[in-house]
Structure 1
Amino acid sequence: MKIQSKLRPVMFVGTSSDVGKSVITAGFCRIFKQDGYHPAPFKAQNMSLNSYATPQGLEIGRAQAVQAEAAGIPCHTDMNPVLLKPTNDQTAQVILNGKSIGNQSAKEYFLSGDRTALFVEVRQAYERLASRYSPIVMEGAGSISELNLKKRDITNMRMAIAAGAATYLITDIDRGGIFASLYGTMALLEPEEKACIKGIIINKFRGDAALFQDGKEMIEELCGVPVIGIVPYFKDIFIEEEDAVSLRQKRNQAVAGQVNIAVVLLSRMSNFTDFDRLDKDSRVNLYYTHTVKGIADADIVILPGSKNTIEDLQELRNNGLADAIILAHQQGKTVIGICGGYQMMGRMIKDPGQVESDAGEVAGLNILPVETVLLSEKMTRQCVFTYRDFTEECIGYEIHMGETKVCGENKAVAFLDGQHPDGCFLSEKCWGSYLHGILDNQVVINDLVAPYTDIQVESVDYLQFRSEQYDKLAALLRENLDIEQVYQQIKE
């Protein structure tokens, strides 16, 4: 399809966090792609434990990788130049242009100066991206009306003004209180910020939107900008969520007649999207749990990734879940670990450089015969591999700061590029791997559930499935939003 003329950027900001900015941004990336443009996503600063490895072996927020996929292009660090990964309640690892530049406390990061130098980095990343793609589909972070942070903002309206972006304010009507949140947000904007706002999107509406016509008109009168549409609440389109906020509201218990898989809900759980594909398998009931009963009721227990393996492991010991996981293994249930969960399953985790903790070293769960040393240098790369003795080509990615050595003659779970081993395979019911995305591969899922069911399912092209979801999302937005109004604002 012929590429159309250059467009000015469009930006989606919110009245608060978790109003649907990431999903709507992904939907517009797909719309512009469908219409013959060459879009790319951009989020100046992202705070998330969900990250992804770029083809160059660098790290960005997973949401921007998803949006790039919706746009049909490879992800790149210019799409998310600053990524904050909380290590505990007080500090976060700062990733700049794909590489860690160390840990900072929230006070150091958010309250020191106006972050001019960091904003220069952000603008340079944007300009590089804008020289290659059009339009740039930008996403804000949290609320745009946090007055105490505005002078140090590098993500929201400061970036919208710098880029000259046509900006749309999103609110979540499912939460309630949208009149106050929309009016209050607009009232707290400076005149030059308010001039950027070209429209409002009401998201997650349940019921007949025609019944909200009076409310729509009231909002337009209060805020002085048009409501360009009302997006219905949907459950039949599967787009990866950016944050783990909603995991505690998902299924949390076993169901009779299915293979029950419990993911241990860690406080610093990372890359929870590792389980999206598994959740869509008709044989499986996947649930997240932080209770002893939840683990006891499961056929399969998965220890997921963690941004602070040592502190999450100590928390598992304190709340009794460590003993429950060990008991599940002793009873012959399947117990596997991914990344930080793989490290936890070993004999020992050593942290000589105090990368995560001042504990120095802690004993693991002693389920797998491995020992881990945490390192300051992070491994980030995309991987092609084969699983066990199967011949199917699989894909995944690594993001970790540890080196794990297998004791004895135990086999690896996977061979990366056909040569380098990964993980430890104790038995078909007990293994660990550093590979995020390993459970996106049908051959791995089939092998995981094989001891518990004879039901076979057809192999699914998961990449094609995700592409179909972006198309469905684009169709939903076209049906419910005034897309032509957006085009009018961004055509130069």
Structure 2
Amino acid sequence: MLRPIMFVGTASDVGKSIITAGFCRIFRQDGHRPAPFKAQNMSLNSYATPEGLEIGRAQAVQAEAAGIPCHVDMNPVLLKPTSDQASQVVLNGRLIGTQSAYEYFRENDRHELFVAATQAYDRLAGRFSPIVLEGAGSISELNLKRRDITNLRMARHADAATYLIADIDRGGVFGSVYGTLALLEPEEKSCIKGIIINKFRGDARLFEDGRQQLAELTGVPVVGVLPYFRDIFLEEEDSVVLARKQRGLGAAGLVKVAVVLLGRMSNFTDFDALGHDPRVQLYYTHDAAEIQEADIVILPGSKNTIEDLLTLKNNGLAAAIVQAHRTGKTVVGICGGYQMLGRSVEDPAGVESRVPATAGLGLLPVRTVLQGEKTTQQRRFAFRDGAVPDCQGYEIHMGQTIADGPPQPVATLADGTPDGYFAGPRCWGTYLHGIIDNPVVIDYLLAPYTSQKTSAPFDFAAFKNEQFDRLAALIRENVDMAQIYAALHR
């Protein structure tokens, strides 16, 4: 049994999720049975477990790296922002309500959540070893530390060997590392076994003096310097990465697919497989001209469908999407985007918004009523007229969508339930996240715009597995794994 290991950060988006996934793969390769854990995650990217419970997408990806099914104990608390000041609170995979930031950070609430988080961790630690924990944000937020349920408080509960990750690419790495460690209490700093410098550009030998200086300043060794890389693909969880995703138009001859950027966009990983198809130029945009240039326009999921729909109307993107449909472009909606394509979205109970109802884009003859109960299920389904449910996806949504007239399903679930509405090959909507991971769906979507066929269907699962192995090799090459294993042997 190995001691747990934890990766914490000097700030958000320093690479904790990716490094955690990499170590999950390393421990699996080395014959252990690792599992990821993050006590509290704040993300609009989520996933349905096999049991039909909801966790952060990052922990589902890390479970893939570990070679095990994801489980709700890997992420007991999930916050899904519905506005700048409020979030849905998902506890042990089930929605328990929406709270403002002030309400959520009240001490009593946090105590109860910490108890739930430690119980989930203990259950997980009884089944796997080592547990690979991930922190959140910065570990030195003094105003939040006593309410923290994610970082060093959890490290101390787990007795985890903890490693501090810093992003050198953003600058100020000495100040961020030194300041972070200087603000820790002695019992907190005693958890820290090493520092990992991430996203180093150039020859890491040039940072040898820096490694020594950081070790002398902090009393903590620098156990690795990971290079900045662009050639290893891993699913991201934080919407901040969308700013780095390509938005411009690409080479001639490719099918141009525009994913509409929404303020509360969720599950943008729905489009990763499509983005890797060699026939496709995929980009994210909130520019009406770029929507008009696209062959296919996709409205993605949203954590606040009505508010995002109102924004689309106010900034002219709604009109651009409708115009794209009128000129023969393909328009597809997924989850919240499917709801937006209908005639109306209603929220009488204020589940997501203070606005009780608004008209949709009117491209599909359906209406949606948001309800408090959330659907979270992995699904097998047959696409369109397929006779066998040989496709995979998952549902995470609030409310029900009703067709005006006979159903025209996009898919038929394995239990015979119809899903979505098919108004024609150039306009349809579905609740199924991950539907465009399936080659048959990708080929159908692209067929009106290209006669080019791939030599073999793109195996996205095999591709991701290869990326995990490449990430593990990169970490092994640049991190002192002997020091890591020495810290993990009790």
Give the TM-score of the pair, scaled to structure 2. 0.98
2:379 corresponds to 1:349: no
2:221 corresponds to 1:226: yes
Q: 1:391 to 1:475 in 2, by over 3 A?
A: farther
Equivalent residue in structure 2 for 1:180, among 151, 175, 181: 175
Q: Which residue of 1 aligns with 2:90?
A: 95
Q: Structure 1 vs Structure 2: percent identity of aligned residues?
A: 67
Q: Which residue of 2 aligns with 1:425?
A: 422
2:321 corresponds to 1:325: yes
- 8 Å contact from structure 2 (residues 167, 197) kept in 1: yes
Distance (Å, rounded) in 2 between the aligned partners of 1:309 and 1:115? 28
2:195 corresponds to 1:200: yes
Q: 1:205, CA displacement in angstroms?
A: 1.0
- 8 Å contact from structure 2 (residues 3, 161) kept in 1: yes
Q: Which residue of 2 aligns with 1:144?
A: 139
Distance (Å, rounded) in 2 between the aligned partners of 1:391 and 1:418? 13
Q: 1:111, CA displacement in angstroms?
A: 4.0
Distance (Å, rounded) in 1 between the aligned partners of 2:8 and 2:126? 23
Q: Which residue of 2 aligns with 1:316?
A: 312
Which segments of 5 or more consecutive residues in structure 2 lack a partner in the other structure?
none
Q: Which residue of 2 aligns with 1:3?
A: none
- The one-character-per-residue Cα deviations of 1:90-127 (angstroms, maximum 9, x if unpaired) are 10000000001101100111244472221111110000
Q: Which residue of 2 aligns with 1:479?
A: 477
Distance (Å, rounded) in 2 between the aligned partners of 1:399 and 1:342? 13
Equivalent residue in structure 2 for 1:158, among 138, 141, 153: 153
Q: 1:180, CA displacement in angstroms?
A: 0.4
Q: 1:418, CA displacement in angstroms?
A: 5.5
Equivalent residue in structure 2 for 1:281, among 277, 281, 287: 277
Give the TM-score of the pair, scaled to structure 1. 0.98
State the SS of the aligned residue for 1:115: helix
Q: Which residue of 2 aligns with 1:339?
A: 335
Distance (Å, rounded) in 2 between the aligned partners of 1:115 and 1:453? 53
- The one-character-per-residue Cα deviations of 1:276-305 (angstroms, maximum 9, x if unpaired) are 111101111110001111111111100000
2:464 corresponds to 1:466: yes
> Equivalences for 1:27-426 in 2 at 5 Å?
27-113=22-108, 115-255=110-250, 256-391=252-387, 393-417=390-414, 419-426=416-423
State the SS of the aligned residue for 1:41: strand
State the SS of the aligned residue for 2:447: helix
Distance (Å, rounded) in 2 between the aligned partners of 1:232 and 1:402? 45
- 8 Å contact from structure 2 (residues 275, 281) kept in 1: yes
AA partner of residue 469 (structure 2): D
AA partner of residue 87 (structure 1): T
State the SS of the aligned residue for 1:403: strand
Moved more, 352-361 or 13-22: 352-361
- 8 Å contact from structure 1 (residues 113, 152) kept in 2: no
> Equivalences for 1:425-444 in 2 at 5 Å?
425-444=422-441
Q: Which residue of 1 aligns with 2:445?
A: 448
Moved more, 124-133 or 244-253: 244-253
Distance (Å, rounded) in 2 between the aligned partners of 1:239 and 1:368? 34
Distance (Å, rounded) in 2 between the aligned partners of 1:451 and 1:95? 41
- The one-character-per-residue Cα deviations of 1:193-247 (angstroms, maximum 9, x if unpaired) are 1000000001111111111111111111111111111111111111111111021
- The one-character-per-residue Cα deviations of 1:161-216 (angstroms, maximum 9, x if unpaired) are 11100000001111111000000000000000100000000111111111111111
- 8 Å contact from structure 1 (residues 41, 136) kept in 2: yes
- The one-character-per-residue Cα deviations of 1:449-484 (angstroms, maximum 9, x if unpaired) are 111111111202221211111111111111111111
- 8 Å contact from structure 1 (residues 386, 418) kept in 2: no
Q: 1:405, CA displacement in angstroms?
A: 1.2
- 8 Å contact from structure 2 (residues 277, 458) kept in 1: no
State the SS of the aligned residue for 1:278: helix
Q: 1:409, CA displacement in angstroms?
A: 3.3
- 8 Å contact from structure 2 (residues 52, 378) kept in 1: yes
Distance (Å, rounded) in 1 between the aligned partners of 2:6 and 2:295? 45
2:483 corresponds to 1:488: no
AA partner of residue 451 (structure 1): P
State the SS of the aligned residue for 2:105: helix
Q: 1:410, CA displacement in angstroms?
A: 5.0
- The one-character-per-residue Cα deviations of 1:302-334 (angstroms, maximum 9, x if unpaired) are 000000000000000110100000000011100
AA partner of residue 105 (structure 2): F
State the SS of the aligned residue for 2:230: coil
- 8 Å contact from structure 1 (residues 410, 426) kept in 2: no
Query: How many matched pairs?
Result: 487
Q: 1:391, CA displacement in angstroms?
A: 4.9
Q: 1:389, CA displacement in angstroms?
A: 1.9
Distance (Å, rounded) in 2 between the aligned partners of 1:63 and 1:359? 31
- 8 Å contact from structure 2 (residues 439, 457) kept in 1: yes
Q: 1:351, CA displacement in angstroms?
A: 1.1
Distance (Å, rounded) in 2 between the aligned partners of 1:352 and 1:386? 33
State the SS of the aligned residue for 2:311: helix
Distance (Å, rounded) in 2 between the aligned partners of 1:321 and 1:123? 45
- 8 Å contact from structure 1 (residues 52, 65) kept in 2: yes
Distance (Å, rounded) in 2 between the aligned partners of 1:248 and 1:35? 36
AA partner of residue 388 (structure 1): R
Distance (Å, rounded) in 2 between the aligned partners of 1:112 and 1:296? 50
State the SS of the aligned residue for 1:451: coil
Q: 1:482 to 1:372 in 2, by over 3 A?
A: same
Distance (Å, rounded) in 2 between the aligned partners of 1:402 and 1:216? 53
